[in-house]
Amino acid sequence: MGTILAHNIVRAFRETLHGAVVLPGDEGYDTGRRVWNGMIDRRPAMIAYCGDAGDVIRAVDFARTHGLLTAVRSGGHNVAGNSVCDNGIVIDLSRMKRIDVNAASRSARAGAGLTWGEFDRETQKSGLATTGGIVSRTGIAGLTLGGGIGWLMRKFGVTCDNLLSIKIVTAEGRLLAASSDENPDLFWGIRGGGGNFGIVTEFGYRLHRVGPVLAGTVYYPAARTREVLRFYRDYIAGIPDELTTMFVYMSASRTPALFRLPGDGPVAAVHVCYTGDAQRGEKLLKPLREFGPPIEDGVRVMPYVELQSMLDPGAPPYVRNYWKSSYLKYLSDEAIDVLVACSEAMTSPLSQVHLQHLGGAVQSVGEDDAAFSHRDALCALNIVTKWEDPRDPEKHIQWTRDFEAAMRPFSTGGVYVNFLGEEGEDRVRAAYGPEKYVRLAALKKKYDPTNFFLMNQNIKPAAAGIL
């Protein structure tokens, strides 16, 4: 343990918090230091569970005063594992779950500790929702701050496009508000710039009337993946914004809907979410549901919250994960051939290959209107590698790297910041492009000149002379 804090200092800090402080050796320390990605095994000197914004200010002041490396955690789902650190302090907001839904103004104020499952359950009581992630246990905080791609994005934009305001604690321990009227530069930066500028304690979202939705998954035999992908490419070229889809290559043995089918090899699948009139949706989805023919069709009208947890079984916590991602410009026959060949060489039955189709309302916001970038991409490719056996991680990691390298010729060169692992500064720059990175670095210099918040996809303050 590199950081030793005197007992009386820790006791005094503990007494100021409405939440709790957990130290090495305390009950709950080992579960408290775990994050979703089982590859991450770090031992912080202290976990400060904050109960409110005041606690977050006190935790930031404490960390700054004692020179502690600081990690910020909300949902703990970040694949890079940046929400936990060795020897420093984890400022944990997972207990800050207050949510106020205003059905009349179609808006919600939400505590940073909520997961999408918790958020959706509350907003859906009023028949409302906003774009969230596709796995219900993901935190609203990290996802929103990186952008937020999900089932409703083609209709309502990415999550951060639906942000109305935030409250944020800066590195100096000041609580600021930001919106399009108040600190608009900061509001621009946090919509895609991640946790670089401070700790967001509360998010204000615009909500929309949503649900029930026509949604689910159509499965096809893996042997026909190439044809499915060619069909899928042509199909998505003509769909309306009410329909968001995602292609997945994955193992049948991990897919509850396929348990009754013989064999446990891979399958190709398309997940869909249609938010318009169900009859129109049925017509629209007919070609997809008849193509092949499919081996299973799980598409039906369902509550939005059911769709939001539909993919949870494929994303279990504490499994080892290594991801590589990039945005694709187009899906040429050549790109499809490479994608199929790489998918077929998959090394673990837990792994998945995702293609999330963007477009629609994602592109109706200007590229310069928020830090979130690469709105013109056709889709996000995410090679989601998972395995359980701790032996021989290299074969899984190498497969992921080779796959990403093989797909590079078809990439825009950009990447979605929330799908990045520990991939270095060049990839963080690639998440924003050179001009936006310069603007973000200037903003970082203004709001966090000492780079106090560095456990993230880090944007260096302009003053550091790194530009």
Stretch that binds ligand FAD, among 131-139, 173-181, 284-292, 385-393 (CB under 6 A): 131-139
Q: How many residues lie near ligand FAD (CB under 6 A)?
A: 36
Q: Please tell me whether residue 160 binds ligand FAD under the rule CB under 6 A.
A: no
Q: What is the DSSP string of 73-102?
A: ESS---TT-TT--SSSEEEE-TT---EEEE
Nearer of residues 72 and 222 to ligand FAD, judged by Cβ: 72
Beta 46-49 vs 89-92: how paired, if at all? Answer: parallel
Residue 365 three-state SS = coil
* Nearest distance, CB of residue 131 and ligand FAD, angstroms: 9
- Which residues are CB-neighbours of 457 under 8 A, at least 6 positions away? 80, 82, 146, 194, 196, 417, 420, 428, 431
Q: Please tell me whether residue 89 binds ligand FAD under the rule CB under 6 A.
A: no
* Nearest distance, CB of residue 8 and ligand FAD, angstroms: 29
Stretch that binds ligand FAD, among 57-65, 71-79, 369-377, 429-437 (CB under 6 A): 71-79
Residue in this structure with the two tokens 């060489």, named with its chain if needed: 345
**How far from the centroid of its chain's Cα atoms is residue 102's Cα?**
25
Whole-angstrom distance between the N-terminal and C-terminal Cα of the chain?
A: 35
Q: Please tell me whether residue 63 binds ligand FAD under the rule CB under 6 A.
A: no
Please, which of residues 184-203 interact with ligand FAD by CB under 6 A? 194-195, 199-200
- Site for ligand FAD (CB under 6 A): which residue of 149, 210, 272, 336? 149
Q: Please tell me whether residue 139 binds ligand FAD under the rule CB under 6 A.
A: yes
Q: Helix axis angle, 7-16 relative to 53-65, nearest 10°?
A: 160
Q: H helices of 304-355, where?
A: 304-309, 333-344
CA-CA distances (angstroms) from residue 266 to 111, 215, 248, 324? 39, 22, 10, 20
Cβ-contact 207, 232 below 8 angstroms: no
Q: Please tell me whether residue 145 binds ligand FAD under the rule CB under 6 A.
A: yes
- Site for ligand FAD (CB under 6 A): which residue of 73, 320, 324, 375? 73
- Site for ligand FAD (CB under 6 A): which residue of 45, 52, 83, 373? 83
- Site for ligand FAD (CB under 6 A): which residue of 211, 418, 430, 452? 418
- Site for ligand FAD (CB under 6 A): which residue of 77, 324, 375, 396? 77
- Site for ligand FAD (CB under 6 A): which residue of 32, 38, 44, 75? 75
* Nearest distance, CB of residue 85 and ligand FAD, angstroms: 9
Cβ-contact 99, 176 below 8 angstroms: no
* Nearest distance, CB of residue 22 and ligand FAD, angstroms: 16
Q: Please tell me whether residue 79 binds ligand FAD under the rule CB under 6 A.
A: yes
Q: Residue type at 445?
A: K
Stretch that binds ligand FAD, among 42-50, 70-78, 177-185, 436-444 (CB under 6 A): 70-78
Nearer of residues 145 and 207 to ligand FAD, judged by Cβ: 145
Q: What is the CA radius of gyration of the chain?
A: 22
Q: Is the dihedral of CA 423, 426, 430, 431 positive or negative?
A: positive
CA 3 – CA 42 distance, rounded (Å): 14
- Site for ligand FAD (CB under 6 A): which residue of 128, 305, 307, 315? 315
Nearer of residues 83 and 255 to ligand FAD, judged by Cβ: 83
CA 50 – CA 56 distance, rounded (Å): 6
Q: Please tell me whether residue 112 binds ligand FAD under the rule CB under 6 A.
A: yes
Q: Please tell me whether residue 141 binds ligand FAD under the rule CB under 6 A.
A: yes
CA 314 – CA 297 distance, rounded (Å): 18
Nearer of residues 295 and 357 to ligand FAD, judged by Cβ: 357
Q: Which residues bind ligand FAD (CB under 6 A)?
A: 35-36, 72-79, 82-83, 93, 112, 133-135, 138-139, 141-143, 145-150, 194-195, 199-200, 315, 418, 455-456
